[in-house]
Amino acid sequence: MRPPTGRRGARQALGLILVGSTAIQLSSALAARLFASLGPLPVSSLRTAIAAVILCAVFRPRLRGRSRAQWASVVAYGVAMAAMNLCLYSAIDRIPLGVAVTLEFLGPCAVAFLASRRVREGLCAVAAFAGVLLISGPGGHFDAAGYAFGLGAAAFFALYTVFAEKVGKGDAGLSGLALSVTVAAVVSAPFGIGDVAGVTAGQWLVLAAVAAMGVAVPYAVDTVAARVSSARVVGTLFSIDPVVGSLAGFLVLREHLGWLSVTGILVVAAAGAAVVWCAGPPPVPEPPPAQAEPAAAAGDGGSGTVSTTRV
pLDDT classification of 172: cutoffs 50, 70, 90? low
pLDDT of 199 reads 93
Q: Please state whether the predicted TM-score (pTM) of the whole model is above 0.85.
A: no
Q: Is 308 contained in some domain?
A: no
* b/e code 9-18 from CB counts within 10 Å (16+ = b): bbbbbbebbb
pLDDT of 137 reads 66
Helix segments in the chain, DSSP class H: 6-32, 35-38, 40-59, 68-92, 97-115, 119-135, 144-169, 173-188, 201-211, 217-228, 231-237, 240-252, 259-278, 292-300
Q: Is 301 contained in some domain?
A: no
Among 12-21, 103-112, 123-132, 230-239, which range has the highest average pLDDT?
Answer: 12-21
Q: Is 293 contained in some domain?
A: no
Q: Is 305 contained in some domain?
A: no
pLDDT tens, position by position, 106-138: 787 777 667 666 777 778 778 877 887 787 666
Comparing CA positions, the residue from 217, 162, 202 lying closest to residue 16 is 217
pLDDT tens, position by position, 31-74: 998 999 999 999 999 999 999 999 899 888 888 877 888 888 88
Mean pLDDT of 195-213: 93
> Can you give the residue range of the structural domain that contains 82?
8-279
SS3 6: helix
pLDDT classification of 170: cutoffs 50, 70, 90? low
Question: 301 and 2 in contact (C-beta within 8 Å)?
Answer: no
Q: Is 58 contained in some domain?
A: yes
Q: Is 227 contained in some domain?
A: yes
Query: Any idea what DSSP says for residue 140?
Result: S
The structural domain count of the chain equals 1
Q: 307: how many CB neighbours lie within 10 A of its CB?
A: 13
Phi-psi domain of 163 (left: phi exceeds 0; alpha: psi -120 through 50; beta: other): alpha
| Amino acid identity for residue 179 in this structure | L
Among 65-69, 99-103, 267-271, which range has the highest average pLDDT?
Answer: 99-103
What distance in Å separates the CA atoms of residue 7 and residue 121, rounded to the nearest whole number?
13
Task: Pick the more confident residue, 281 or 38.
Answer: 38
Q: Is 285 contained in some domain?
A: no
Q: Is 295 contained in some domain?
A: no
